[in-house]
């Protein structure tokens, strides 16, 4: 099915099942520990051996020598895979060959060997006996020191690294109220609960991988290329995923080395990345340095806005797209954005929840707060005044829907924004109290997505698609979609996900999963409805409701259509050019109240509210969970999260969950989420968009702005920690 004209009325609009706050259908499996995660597939292949990854102990250079003798002689060892014996690996689609380093070393903890043994403990013990001599070469590890060497990437995901409208420099120079400030965001790690893990089993030249992966079809293609085998000979299975956040968009070391280890050992091999290895071995959200210039007339209208961002990556990598939102968020006739990329020999920078916008808004939305202060305007009113209903870089392109102002105004009212005092003016005992606001913005993307649906004679509808559920609620919204389309209750729907033997879906990434994957299920169900109608000899306007199909006076139980054998329909939703004609984005406003201890500078989040406008909300309960999770992650990036770079030796020092701090329950006392009622007919027949990444966008800046309102201290370098406040707190204690 092709979606190339805005949706009209369709069965989803009944909203009998879709749009209802619905518990996760796989929730009981997860809460009882019976959902099988990658490392737990103990029974799928007999005689599993254990692989343990050896990571490089230098960041850049070469392996001078590697002595495996002691490791090979250790108890239980079956095989050791290194670059010397693995055979040639193709670089794959995502530099996959680099997942096994040697003799050249590209970054710290890059895998250089996999030791396979009878037990995990034996593999780990033997791995410690691998003797490696390195010759270290000089690397580049300090973004701030590498700015002079940064280049302009030719393109960034198919768009220009730089954009320009009007004459920014001249207009900025002429503005009466100006801001020119520099902000920094540190490297972040995904820190998902479930580590990267895979079990690989070969049957002749056919490989099956039970793994934890967001994008099944990408990863099948990548594994095939890397190993030089046909895609058809690889099956990937990933039914449950304990978080991904972008860290599992691609196959990683565990998958490639499990496959190589299983080949070498001649039996199935399972590999999990230990937590202390994950952070330097896998990808991360790269640090940024951002310069923002905003010029406004005395009435608060922005006339010039400029945003430059510097980030680093390994040779051949790409920049963090931190200027993305500034191209679309606020009006202003004269504008410029620019992305610069330096070579850094740290682990690979890549996507993490809302790549681009998340760190971009961390800077932009402090800048907007600073401008409002300079103008003597309320920060909500300043943003509302500078709203735009068209793409500010291409004014002929409207937003499909844009209710940012309503998000801001609704939030201000519900949060009690009018009680916000002047900076440093509100006290609650020893706490300095402040409120902050920030806009949330994230683009909506649609990706083609296919599904197969089966109807059996009991009236049960089974959906199969390689879509993944990374904790987001895919199982449930897909079940809701099929139930709505086929007119059956939820308990008559079975959803099977995360298997490459199912039709290729959009996968989970870029907050495109919810709308895209359900649209694919919609298309397949539309075909199944046709098949049902035909089988029963009904008119095409038959009604599917209450487990029945009715046309005129005739009514059948749905299962009767399958009395003579299962009915199967498969289709894919594909997209025309509506996303070019309309700018499809999601919007929100975050409000945060913090308390800052007047004596110690300790910062506590007291309340958070998000108001989101993101198309039809398919399952308000799951969507709320997505947003509160993202708000929590945003609070972490505001106050805690920072990979500390060892600039001498080039690695992230705090590479475990003891040293890399993320919020716990006690850090997040109260959160509310409001979804504006909306449906966007330009996105798909589901009229939905994504929320999973929107929820984190802007949160950190709202926290930082609240800290400023509480204390009068402006911190422009994340995370906002008490040491950055301590000598500047008002001495009113």
Compute the least distance from the CB of residue 344 to ligand MOS, in Å.
20
Q: How far lies 104's CA from each of 93, 100, 107, 112, 287, in Å?
A: 20, 10, 10, 10, 25
Asked if residue 473 binds ligand MOS (CB under 6 A), the reply is: no
Per DSSP, 438 falls in state E
Q: Is the dihedral of CA 304, 693, 501, 226 positive or negative?
A: positive
Asked if residue 510 binds ligand MOS (CB under 6 A), the reply is: yes
Burial class (CB in 10 A: 0-12, 13-18, 19+), 278: buried
Residue (82 or 518) nearer to ligand MOS, CB: 518
Residue (214 or 518) nearer to ligand MOS, CB: 214
Q: Binding pattern to ligand MOS, positions 89-128, x when CB under 6 A?
A: ----------------------------------------
| Separation of alpha carbons 105 and 260, rounded Å | 19
Residue (269 or 352) nearer to ligand MOS, CB: 352
Residue (685 or 692) nearer to ligand MOS, CB: 692
Q: Binding pattern to ligand MOS, positions 343-382, x when CB under 6 A?
A: --------xxx-x---------------------------
Compute the least distance from the CB of residue 523 to ligand MOS, in Å.
23
| Separation of alpha carbons 673 and 691, rounded Å | 11
Cβ atoms 733, 720 nearer than 8 A: no
| Separation of alpha carbons 287 and 319, rounded Å | 10
Residues labelled catalytic: 693
Compute the least distance from the CB of residue 355 to ligand MOS, in Å.
5
Cβ atoms 522, 505 nearer than 8 A: no
| Separation of alpha carbons 205 and 441, rounded Å | 46
Compute the least distance from the CB of residue 547 to ligand MOS, in Å.
37
Among 185, 214, 325, 401, binds ligand MOS (CB under 6 A): 214
Cβ atoms 611, 410 nearer than 8 A: yes
Residue (3 or 245) nearer to ligand MOS, CB: 245
Residue (244 or 347) nearer to ligand MOS, CB: 244
Burial class (CB in 10 A: 0-12, 13-18, 19+), 670: exposed
Query: Which residue's beta carbon is nearest to the bound ligand MOS?
Result: 246
Helix count and strand count (H, E) for the chain: 15, 30
Burial class (CB in 10 A: 0-12, 13-18, 19+), 131: exposed
Burial class (CB in 10 A: 0-12, 13-18, 19+), 58: buried
Closest CA to 707 of 439, 369, 291, 289: 369
The footprint of ligand MOS on residues 217-276 (CB under 6 A) is 244-246, 249
The footprint of ligand MOS on residues 193-212 (CB under 6 A) is none
Residue (409 or 683) nearer to ligand MOS, CB: 683
Residue (320 or 370) nearer to ligand MOS, CB: 320
Residue with tokens 């984190």: 696
Percent of the chain as helix, strand, coil, to the nearest 5? 30, 25, 45
Asked if residue 509 binds ligand MOS (CB under 6 A), the reply is: yes
First to last CA, the chain: 67
Residue (244 or 498) nearer to ligand MOS, CB: 244
Measured CA angle at 687 (ends 241, 578), to 5 deg: 105
Compute the least distance from the CB of residue 212 to ligand MOS, in Å.
13
Q: Binding pattern to ligand MOS, positions 4-23, x when CB under 6 A?
A: --------------------
Structure tokens at 729: 């707190």
Residue (285 or 383) nearer to ligand MOS, CB: 285
Q: How far lies 508's CA from each of 214, 317, 448, 517, 618, in Å?
A: 5, 22, 12, 9, 16
Q: How far is Cα of residue 204 from the mean position of the Cα atoms in its chain?
A: 36
Residue (216 or 412) nearer to ligand MOS, CB: 216
Asked if residue 319 binds ligand MOS (CB under 6 A), the reply is: no
Q: How far lies 90's CA from each of 100, 227, 265, 498, 636, in Å?
A: 11, 7, 21, 25, 38
Compute the least distance from the CB of residue 509 to ligand MOS, in Å.
3
Per DSSP, 490 falls in state G
Compute the least distance from the CB of residue 246 to ligand MOS, in Å.
3
Compute the least distance from the CB of residue 513 to ligand MOS, in Å.
9
Asked if residue 48 binds ligand MOS (CB under 6 A), the reply is: no
**Strand bridging mode 197-203 / 269-272:** antiparallel
- Number of residues forming the site for ligand MOS (CB under 6 A): 11
Compute the least distance from the CB of residue 470 to ligand MOS, in Å.
7
Q: How far lies 291's CA from each of 2, 181, 184, 393, 662, in Å?
A: 42, 6, 9, 19, 27
Compute the least distance from the CB of residue 592 to ligand MOS, in Å.
23
Closest CA to 733 of 596, 603, 606: 596
Residue (355 or 498) nearer to ligand MOS, CB: 355
How many residues does this entry show for the chain? 733
Q: Reply yes or no: is the peptide bond before residue 283 cis, omega within 30 of 0.
A: no
Compute the least distance from the CB of residue 498 to ligand MOS, in Å.
15
Compute the least distance from the CB of residue 510 to ligand MOS, in Å.
4
Residues that bind ligand MOS (CB under 6 A): 214, 244-246, 249, 351-353, 355, 509-510
């Amino acid at each position: 099915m092709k979606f190339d004209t805005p949706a009209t009325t369709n069965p989803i609009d009944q909203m009998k099942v879709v749009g209802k706050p619905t518990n996760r259908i796989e929730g009981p499996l997860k809460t009882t520990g019976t959902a099988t995660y990658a490392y737990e597939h103990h029974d799928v292949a007999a005689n599993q051996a254990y692989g343990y990854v050896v990571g490089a102990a230098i960041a850049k250079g070469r392996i001078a020598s590697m002595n495996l003798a002691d490791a090979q002689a250790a108890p239980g060892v079956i095989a050791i895979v290194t670059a010397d014996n693995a055979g040639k690996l193709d670089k794959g689609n995502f530099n996959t060959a680099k997942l096994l380093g040697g003799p050249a070393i590209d970054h710290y903890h890059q895998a250089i060997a996999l030791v396979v043994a009878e037990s995990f403990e034996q593999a780990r013990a033997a791995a410690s006996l691998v003797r490696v001599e390195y010759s270290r070469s000089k690397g580049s590890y300090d973004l701030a020191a590498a700015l002079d060497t940064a280049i302009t990437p030719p393109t960034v995901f198919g768009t220009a690294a730089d954009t320009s409208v009007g004459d920014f420099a001249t207009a900025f120079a002429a503005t009466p109220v100006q801001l020119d400030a520099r902000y920094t965001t540190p490297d972040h790690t995904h820190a998902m609960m479930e580590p990267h893990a895979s079990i690989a089993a070969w049957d002749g030249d056919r490989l099956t991988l039970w793994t934890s992966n967001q994008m099944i079809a990408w990863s099948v293609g990548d594994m095939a290329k890397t190993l030089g085998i046909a895609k058809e000979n690889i099956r990937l299975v990933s039914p449950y995923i304990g978080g991904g956040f972008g860290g599992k968009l691609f196959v990683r070391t565990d998958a490639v080395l499990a496959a190589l280890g299983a080949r070498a050992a001649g039996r199935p091999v399972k590999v999990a990345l230990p937590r202390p290895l994950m952070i330097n071995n896998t990808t991360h959200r790269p640090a940024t340095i951002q310069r923002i210039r905003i010029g406004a007339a005395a009435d608060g209208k922005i006339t010039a806005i400029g945003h430059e961002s510097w980030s680093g990556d390994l040779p051949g990598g790409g920049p963090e797209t931190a200027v993305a939102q500034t191209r679309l968020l606020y009006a202003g006739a004269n504008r410029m954005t620019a992305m610069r990329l330096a070579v850094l020999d740290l682990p690979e920078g890549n996507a993490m929840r809302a790549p681009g916008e998340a760190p971009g808004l961390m800077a932009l939305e402090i800048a907007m707060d600073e401008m409002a202060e300079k103008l003597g305007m309320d920060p909500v009113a300043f943003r509302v005044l500078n709203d735009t209903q068209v793409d500010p870089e291409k004014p002929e392109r409207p937003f499909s829907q844009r209710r940012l102002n309503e998000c801001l105004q609704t939030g201000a009212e519900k949060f009690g924004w009018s009680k916000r005092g002047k900076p440093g003016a509100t006290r609650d005992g020893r706490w300095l109290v402040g409120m902050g606001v920030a806009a949330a913005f994230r683009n909506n993307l649609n990706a083609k997505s296919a599904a197969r649906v089966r109807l059996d004679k009991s009236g049960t509808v089974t959906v199969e698609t390689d879509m993944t559920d990374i904790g987001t609620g895919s199982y449930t919204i897909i079940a809701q979609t099929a139930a709505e389309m086929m007119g059956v209750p939820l308990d008559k729907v079975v959803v099977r996900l995360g298997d490459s033997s199912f039709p290729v879906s959009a996968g989970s990434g870029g907050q495109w999963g919810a709308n895209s994957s359900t649209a694919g299920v919609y298309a397949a169900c539309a075909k199944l409805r046709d098949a049902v109608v035909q089988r029963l000899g009904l008119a095409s306007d038959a009604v599917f409701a209450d487990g029945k199909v009715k046309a005129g006076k005739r009514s059948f139980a749905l299962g009767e259509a399958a009395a003579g054998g299962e009915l199967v329909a498969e289709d894919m939703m594909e997209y025309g050019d509506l996303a070019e004609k309309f700018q499809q984005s999601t919007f929100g406003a975050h409000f945060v109240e913090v308390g800052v201890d007047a004596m110690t500078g300790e910062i506590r989040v007291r309340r958070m509210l998000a108001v989101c406008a993101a198309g039809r909300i398919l399952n308000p309960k799951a969507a709320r969970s997505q947003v509160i999770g993202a708000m929590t992650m945003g609070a972490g990036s505001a106050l805690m999260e920072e990979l500390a770079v060892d600039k001498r030796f080039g690695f992230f020092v705090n590479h475990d969950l003891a040293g890399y701090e993320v919020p716990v329950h006690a850090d997040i006392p109260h959160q509310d989420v409001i979804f504006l009622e909306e449906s966007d007919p330009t996105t798909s027949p589901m009229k939905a968009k994504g929320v999973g990444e929107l929820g984190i966008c802007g949160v950190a800046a709202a926290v930082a702005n609240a800290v400023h309102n509480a204390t009068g201290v402006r911190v422009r370098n994340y995370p906002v920690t008490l040491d950055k406040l301590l000598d500047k707190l008002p001495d009113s204690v």
